[in-house]
Amino acid sequence: MKGSIIKRGASWTYIIDIGKDPVTGKRRQRTKGGFRRQKDAEVALRKILTEIDENRYVEPSNESFSSYIQHWFTSHYQKRVKETTASSRKYLMDKHLVRENPFAYKSLSKITTIDIDSLYNLKLDAEYRTSTIRKLH
């Protein structure tokens, strides 16, 4: 993989090739800018190149948590458990992870551990049992 650094106005930006699109075969690039010094951009570029070389690079997703969890439930989880288990878990998912979740419509790449901990604390404050919170987890 290759990358380059350019100056845009007063800040520095890196541009990196992240491979070809498997469907279209077109070249894909990612850019990140706003670095005050060229050296900062070089450090960030080296870090992402290392992640790509070690197959640890994960492209950030813009999909919301609620759409992801509903898709995962129907395409993965529901097919692997009994129908009664799936219906009770669907109720928990809809109520606690979609409707009453403060980060339900936040993009997956923006969810932090603080968001998840605050959801657990919210459920504990609402006096849900720890077994219910474990099921949500």
Q: Are residues 92 and 115 in the same domain?
A: yes
The whole-angstrom separation of Cα 95 and Cα 92 is: 5
Domain boundaries, position 94: 65-136
What is the total count of domains within the chain? 2
Q: Are residues 127 and 73 in the same domain?
A: yes
pLDDT in tens, 92-101: 999 999 999 9
Q: Are residues 88 and 47 in the same domain?
A: no
Burial tier of 119 (Cβ tally within 10 Å: 0-12, 13-18, 19+):
buried
Q: Are residues 40 and 76 in the same domain?
A: no
What is the full per-residue pLDDT of the chain (137 aa) written as tens digits? 588 999 999 999 999 988 888 889 999 899 999 999 999 999 999 999 998 888 888 777 889 999 999 999 999 999 999 999 999 999 999 999 999 999 999 999 899 999 999 999 999 999 999 999 999 98
Q: Are residues 69 and 130 in the same domain?
A: yes
Q: Is residue 58 part of a domain?
A: no
Strand order in the sheet with 27-35: 3-8, 11-20, 27-35
What is the pTM assigned to this prediction? 0.66
What is the reported pLDDT for 99? 93
